[in-house]
Amino acid sequence: MSITIFLLWLLTTSFFSLISTQPSPSPPPLRGYLINCGSKTDIQQDGIQYSKDEGYTATGTRTALKNTTHITLPILTTLRYFPYGPGKHCYDFPVTKGAKYLIRTTYYYGQFDGGTHPPVFDQIVDGTTWGVVNTTEDYNNGLTSYYEIIVVANDKTLSVCFACNEQTIRDSNPFVSLLEVLILDSSLYNSTDFGKYGLVTVARSNFASETDFVRFPDDPFNRYWQPFVDGNPTVEAHVNVTSSEFWNRPPAKVFLSGSTTSRGKNLKIQWPPFSLPTNRYYVALYFQDSRSTSPYSWRVFTVLIDDKTFYQDLNVTTKGVTVYGTEWPLSGDTQITLTPRSDMPVGPTINAGEIYQILPLAVTTLARDGIMVILNSLLLALQMLKQSLKNPPDDWNGDPCLPKEHPWFGIGCTEGKQVRVTSL
């Protein structure tokens, strides 16, 4: 029933090492957790500190890859895997309730289990199944896979979990290579009701760029901006935008390249480069007039998505501008069309874009913001029991009842608006 986008971006195993090392004032450090799963030590790579995973999870087994043919990065040579069977296996992170987080999971199989195909399994954030992890195609192409979701913490702990599903082959093990939980500023994507929804990244693209991913330090939150090139003419900007003037804080670097077309013509872009399941999406597009700043350096065009007007007569200057749709329906192949106003001496242009799938979140079993939930005495008893047990069952972590396919082993839960524990 839930639509899953598992085809995310592919990340070549070498890109980390290609990050530019221009001398620049050192950026503020990343805030959040960057976890090198399965590692016994902390590792510094490309100016980012990755921590070992000890202390964040009580389940699973550390291991090193058996086949490192395509691996150039130490952080991908280890992983943690979890037992086959029912139940979910979680990492728990202390977080600030109400703060916004970008969670990114990265997977590189490397035949850690001696098999030939990566296992297929679910990933879960708090009580919500966020998607199916299937890295087979990427792995066969020598690529690492990653998935992202943006959520607001509704409690002081945020859990990221892994669980078998019907497609998980018997006796294979869910696993994870890297886990990042990064704090985002509150203004980012703030038209979304994060009390009800998470945003699952579908595409975050830097148009007309042939370079590597743009990410930290150019992006202060280590979002990955993938290059996207098509047959359209490209332009290079003459002026840097001020990133902090945009609520979503797009890195100034992604504005430096743009797709364009000649005067009087419509600019058409097939993006993202894959078909989308019918759903509502958050869409943000970023534009800048590429010329040097002058009284004439602006252009007006209309933005259409699949021939529906997204924004009429947008005036784009050298300062840059963004337009976004909070809940835009999309289905199948998507086309962005920029139609210049008839009197414009220059063609339209676009620099970057983001698309997120809007994912309804499950109501957690524990108390939620502002609602007085009478905690079911059984639930309390359950938590006390867990605390008192020396060795609670392996899967007693994360939400006890949710997602409903993966409750704690040995307990019963009722469904409905308020999920409750009913039996033990």
Ligand X SMILES: *[C@@H]1O[C@H](CO)[C@@H](O)[C@H](O)[C@H]1NC(C)=O
Chain residues that interact with ligand X, rule: CB under 6 A? 67, 69, 111, 120, 134, 136-137, 167, 187, 190-191, 237-240, 247, 298, 300, 315, 317
Nearer to ligand X, 96 or 191 (CB): 191
Q: How far is the CB of 65 from ligand X (least distance, A)?
A: 10
CB of 120 to ligand X, least distance (A): 4
Question: How far apart are CB 6 and ligand X at their closest, in Å?
Answer: 8
Element (H, E) at 303: strand 298-305
Least distance from ligand X to the Cβ atom of residue 210, Å: 17
Residues whose CB is less than 8 angstroms from the CB of residue 147 and which lie 6 or more positions away in sequence, other chains included: 6, 8, 104, 105, 123, 130, 131, 133, 200, 201
Residue 368: left (phi > 0), alpha (psi -120 to 50), or beta?
Answer: beta
Residue 408 CB, shortest distance to ligand X, in Å, is 25
Q: β-strands 226-228, 197-207: how paired? A: parallel
Tell me whether residue 239 or residue 267 sits nearer to ligand X (CB atom).
Answer: 239
* 57/248 with CB nearer ligand X: 248
**In this complex, which beta carbon is closest to ligand X, that of residue 12 or of residue 376?**
12
Closest distance of CB 24 from ligand X, Å: 7
- We find the least distance from the C-beta atom of residue 192 to ligand X, in angstroms, to be 9
Q: Can you tell me whether residue 123 is helix, strand or coil?
A: strand
CB closer to ligand X, 136 vs 383: 136
Q: How far is the CB of 397 from ligand X (least distance, A)?
A: 25
Count Cβ atoms below 10 Å from residue 291 Cβ, excluding itself: 18
- Name the residue nearer to ligand X (CB basis): 51 or 136: 136
If the CB atoms of residues 135 and 357 are measured against ligand X, the closer one turns out to be 135
β-strands 157-163, 226-228 pairing: unpaired
Q: What beta strand segments (E) does 18-110 contain?
A: 32-36, 43-45, 48-52, 61-64, 78-81, 88-94, 100-107
Q: How far is the CB of 198 from ligand X (least distance, A)?
A: 17
In the numeric block, which tokens belong to residue 345?
Answer: 């001496």
Least Å from the CB of residue 287 to ligand X:
12
**Residue 228 backbone class (left: φ over 0; alpha: ψ -120 to 50; beta: rest):** beta
- Rounded to 5°, the CA angle 97-98-101 comes to 95
Structure tokens at 80: 């943690």
C-beta of 116 vs 414, nearer to ligand X: 116
Residue 25 gets the label, from left (phi > 0), alpha (psi -120 to 50) or beta, of: beta
Of residues 163 and 413, the one with the C-beta less far from ligand X? 163
CA distances from 287 to 323, 349, 351 (A): 9, 7, 5
3 state DSSP class of 385: helix
Q: Within 244-298, where are the H helices? A: none
Q: Which residues contact 94 (CB under 8 A, 6 or more apart)?
A: 156, 157
**Nearer to ligand X (CB atom), residue 102 or residue 401:** 102
